[in-house]
Structure 1
Amino acid sequence: MASSSDEQSPKPGFHLVHSHAQEGDIPGTVNVKAAEGDDTAYGQALFPVPAEDPNDPLQWSRFKKTMILVIICVYSFLGNSALLGVGPYITLWSEAFDVSQEDASTLISYPNLAYGLTSWLLVPLYLKFGRRPIVLGSMLAFIAGLAASSQATSFNGLMAARIIHCLGAGVCEALPVQLVNDIFFLHERGLQLGYYTFALCLAALATLPAAYMLPTKYSWRLFFYVILAFAVALFILAFFFVEETSYQRNKHINTPTNEEQDSGSPSLAQDKPEELTVEQVPVIPARKSFLTTLKPWGHSDPTVPFFTLLWRSMTYFLVPQVLWVITSFGIVIGLGALSFNFVFPIKITAPPYNWPVSSSGLQAVGSVIGFLLAVPFTPTSDMLAAYLTRRNNGIREAEMRLGVMLPAMIVGPVGLVVYGLTAQRNLHWIGYFLGAAMSSWGGYFYYNFTLAYAVDSYNSDTSEMLIAMNVATQL
């Protein structure tokens, strides 16, 4: 007897995606040859293979996926802006709190350390208790830290508050990548990670409004007020739209009641479809109700070894692919973004430039121009990988996307040299902007495509790899 569609089927007209792609024995290798009935992209079967379940994040609507992506991108932008946007305040804080500029700069460096290292704790937490509670909890910590920063009256108080909001926002170093991995297919990751990368990079622009807020009634505190307002609004959106994305697909991927279908042969279901009885048709669960998805807590996974993950993730330093991503990613961040925010405000307000403090955030213009010029190249790694996959008879390898990075390997380092020589020899100020633009253009490729490559290489162990990457880039 057939069950009601309300209990066993998704909404009428909803198409459940199918694929027979197979992961190879070598990590990062996938056979994406399309079989009859497969949904495809670039003429290739989709991977990961989704379950016939509308609750599988891979089966969610495009609107749902886009909302989650937008929310985590904005969160990443706000978190990184709150961390780095205060660069123009170093001199002011030095005078206000009666400390040296070197000590005042630790209001960026120590929170930055907290921002990077917090994923060592939060990643095992979201693996064990789910993505949603960690997203919401981290946002609350971010909001609390911002509120405390806006009211701080001492150096130590401001330091503590900034560490708190960075401990919350630090989840943006890992969780957005995990969510992209959860809800998007292999062929989409380069583009979707590109949006996340651009949001992180765009935070370099935060120094510009931060500097222009100095002459206002609230001075530097206005910067924290503004980010706090956006953070509260974002928390409300996240509560309603960021559904739990952890899904044990291996328990649902082979759910047909027919024993022959359980054998794993994709052709059997296609040979005699007219002979399938009602009892042989796979039972498709109902989509969870909207109210059910609003539960702020997730599910505890007893199979996740929380403390083991803390040390086991460090073993990824021995994996060549991950080590290369860590070193290149860390160098670009350390020698690029952080050095720009430290060096420019100090150099540009001193002789021979003598710019006003309110203009000390203009360096962000060069970085943002570089990022904007790089954005049109975001889809190129997916397109190149798809092209090379077709030439390789449907076998995709993680390294296939890396060819697009060759120009960045030249332009980025040249930009660092231009910036460094300008600062060392007090050359024309245009050198700061040109160097920052070139470095940021190349850095965008490293932020985005090395990350996508690492996720492709170790798809099943993405979380542990991200812990190692985030810890290493802060050392």
Structure 2
Amino acid sequence: MLSTDPNDPLQWPNWKKTMILIIVSLYSFLSNSALLGPSVYIGIFAETFKISPVIASGLISYPNICYGVGTLITVPAYLKFGRRPVMILSLVVYLAGLIGCGCSTSYGSLMACRLIHALASGVCEALPVQLVNDIFFLHERGNKLGYYTVCLCWGSTGPLYAGYMLAGGYSWRLFFYVETAFAGLLLILAFLFVEETTYKRNSPDGPAIPNPNGEKRVFGHDELDGKSSEEQVERVVEVETMVPPRRTFVQTLKPWSGINKDENFFLTMGRSFSYFLVPAVLWVVATYGIYIGLGALVFNYTFPSIIVAPPYNWKQENAGLIALGNVIGYGLAVPLVWTSDRLAAYLTKRNGGIREAEMRLGVLIPAAFIAPAGLIVYGYTAQNQLHWIGYFAGVAMTDWGSYFFFTFTLAYAVDSYNANVSEMLIAMCIGKQMISFAFGIYVLEWVIESGYVTIIAGVFCGVLFANNAFVFLFMWKGKSIRKWMAGTWLARWHRGTIKQVMAH
């Protein structure tokens, strides 16, 4: 049912939707850059606090875990208490954590403040996807998720800015002061423009919530009925109702929202872990974890130590230049963000107007091969101390592929199980941060013991290619897997415990 209520987020003007998307995307960029930027300071932290580089790297690795684990609290909170209050509160705590980092005088205090701002800002790993789902229609989500994803990915360029702040003669604290200033500005913008997007849509016959672009899939329900959200013919049902007035600007500034009594805070937390048993979601978790581990940790940990040593002998402040590989890789991928929606639309038309979630996956095939090839280039360049351009080429190739997998595997999962998006996002955020942590925590020791070719061009490349190859399995059997899952105990449990479809 397409509501005529002007307070329905789907009916908001485009400038309003775009502003919200920009703000949450910038939050993702800033939080990710704050998380990863200090990776170029590992050597400086080790010297300042009299610790080993491996221990110093924990200032990035452990906050990286908190960045995902924090969603276990923040996501049920925004379902229970509203998107707006949770986002504002997270920005306040994020800001406080950054201030604490800039004022820290010991390893322990710096670690504590890093954990605080990572826990708080981790909500932007899930909330932007939820907001896109709240305010945009199905056929718009691919593009909108793409814009958010590139901001999240470009957050990994934080080491570039952090490195060059050293060139100004200031200490590592300047990076946190600059992040604090931008976080304060973002808090003001969020307070003014990010209106509460939670909205309950009721049909004339009851609480079912149909979508103008197809009925929502409650996990396992529609498959058992022989239907899927992609298999519905697009329909719009206009219902004549009393149309309330649009909330005034002052009313939208209210920093709190109503409590959703239909949402069980702890059940939401518990049910999210069940998504690790759903093949499509597990694939997204592995995809994000592997690519984040490579791009955010492996490259950022190894390049600074390589490039300041012979035969390169770069200055410490130039160690963050590896982020240019991120910029190039993602920059070449962004103009192609439309390909997934376009391919899905073309295949839908050929399929008699029936949409399948798997129809967008074909665009991942080139990236499935190019990204692992980038690891081979990087590993051999490091092992044999080849020209420095090899590092940038390897990173750019891997990040070019990662952009497609970040954006379109997530869109595929949301298309497949779009009624339970928030719980699915909790599983994704926790799982991917754990996997990425495993990639980065001992990588410096591994490459010293076994070499860059063995670890990066061999082990990591093999793991990445095996993960990417699952695109062929889901293109071939994705729909069958969903139907099989619909008959399991897991699907029955979800059908028996879900009270409200939170997505439209």
User: Would the TM-score normalized by the shorter structure come out above 0.5?
Assistant: yes
SS at match of 1:388: helix
Counterpart CA distance in 2 for 1:241 and 1:417 is 45
Q: Which runs of 5+ in 1 are unaligned?
A: 1-48, 256-265, 271-279
SS at match of 2:260: coil
Report the CA distance between 1:269 and its aligned residue. Answer: 8.8
CA deviation profile, 1:134-193 (whole Å, cap 9, x unmatched): 100000011001111111111111111111111111111111100001001111111100
Corresponding position: 1:221 with 2:173: yes
CA 1:253–1:70 in 2, change beyond 3 Å: closer, same or farther?
farther
Match of 1:92 in 2: 44
CA 1:346–1:57 in 2, change beyond 3 Å: closer, same or farther?
same
Does the CA-based 8 Å contact 1:204-1:367 persist in structure 2?
yes
CA deviation profile, 1:326-366 (whole Å, cap 9, x unmatched): 11221111123321111111111122222110110010011
Match of 1:121 in 2: 73
Q: CA RMSD in A?
A: 1.9
Match of 2:380 in 1: 421
Match of 1:15 in 2: none
Question: What TM-score comes out, normalization by structure 2 length?
Answer: 0.78
Match of 2:147 in 1: 195
Match of 2:430 in 1: 471
Does the CA-based 8 Å contact 2:156-2:295 persist in structure 1?
no
CA deviation profile, 1:375-400 (whole Å, cap 9, x unmatched): 01101111111111111122111111
- What residue identity is the alignment partner of 1:462? V
Aligned pair partner of 2:318 in 337, 359, 372: 359
Corresponding position: 1:244 with 2:196: yes
- What residue identity is the alignment partner of 2:399? S
Map 1:313-392 to 2 at 5 A: 313-392=272-351
Question: What TM-score comes out, normalization by structure 1 length?
Answer: 0.83
CA 1:241–1:269 in 2, change beyond 3 Å: closer, same or farther?
closer
Report the CA distance between 1:251 and its aligned residue. Answer: 5.7
Does the CA-based 8 Å contact 1:136-1:235 persist in structure 2?
yes
CA deviation profile, 1:13-68 (whole Å, cap 9, x unmatched): xxxxxxxxxxxxxxxxxxxxxxxxxxxxxxxxxxxx53221111111100000000
Q: Which runs of 5+ in 2 are unaligned?
A: 208-233, 435-504
Report the CA distance between 1:86 and its aligned residue. Answer: 1.1
Counterpart CA distance in 1 for 2:245 and 2:356 is 36
Report the CA distance between 1:122 and its aligned residue. Answer: 0.7
Map 1:130-145 to 2 at 5 A: 130-145=82-97
Report the CA distance between 1:285 and its aligned residue. Answer: 1.4
Match of 2:187 in 1: 235
SS at match of 1:180: helix
Does the CA-based 8 Å contact 2:2-2:236 persist in structure 1?
no
SS at match of 1:223: helix
Does the CA-based 8 Å contact 1:139-1:168 persist in structure 2?
yes
Aligned pair partner of 1:445 in 404, 412, 420: 404
Match of 1:409 in 2: 368
Q: 388-397 vs 151-160, which deviates more?
A: 388-397
Counterpart CA distance in 1 for 2:235 and 2:399 is 49
Aligned pair partner of 1:457 in 416, 421, 428: 416
Counterpart CA distance in 1 for 2:204 and 2:149 is 32
Report the CA distance between 1:421 and its aligned residue. Answer: 2.0
Does the CA-based 8 Å contact 1:146-1:227 persist in structure 2?
yes
SS at match of 1:460: coil
Does the CA-based 8 Å contact 1:52-1:253 persist in structure 2?
no
Q: 134-143 vs 242-251, which deviates more?
A: 242-251
Counterpart CA distance in 1 for 2:333 and 2:191 is 33
Report the CA distance between 1:254 and its aligned residue. Answer: 7.8
Does the CA-based 8 Å contact 1:117-1:470 persist in structure 2?
yes
- When Rg is computed on C-alpha atoms for both structures, the one with the higher figure is 1
CA 1:251–1:296 in 2, change beyond 3 Å: closer, same or farther?
farther
Does the CA-based 8 Å contact 1:130-1:244 persist in structure 2?
yes
Map 1:261-300 to 2 at 5 A: 281-300=240-259
Aligned pair partner of 1:308 in 267, 270, 273: 267
SS at match of 1:282: coil
- What residue identity is the alignment partner of 1:377? L
Report the CA distance between 1:289 and its aligned residue. Answer: 1.4
Counterpart CA distance in 2 for 1:331 and 1:229 is 32
Does the CA-based 8 Å contact 2:381-2:390 persist in structure 1?
yes
Counterpart CA distance in 2 for 1:89 and 1:253 is 60
SS at match of 2:250: helix
Report the CA distance between 1:250 and its aligned residue. Answer: 3.0
Match of 1:159 in 2: 111
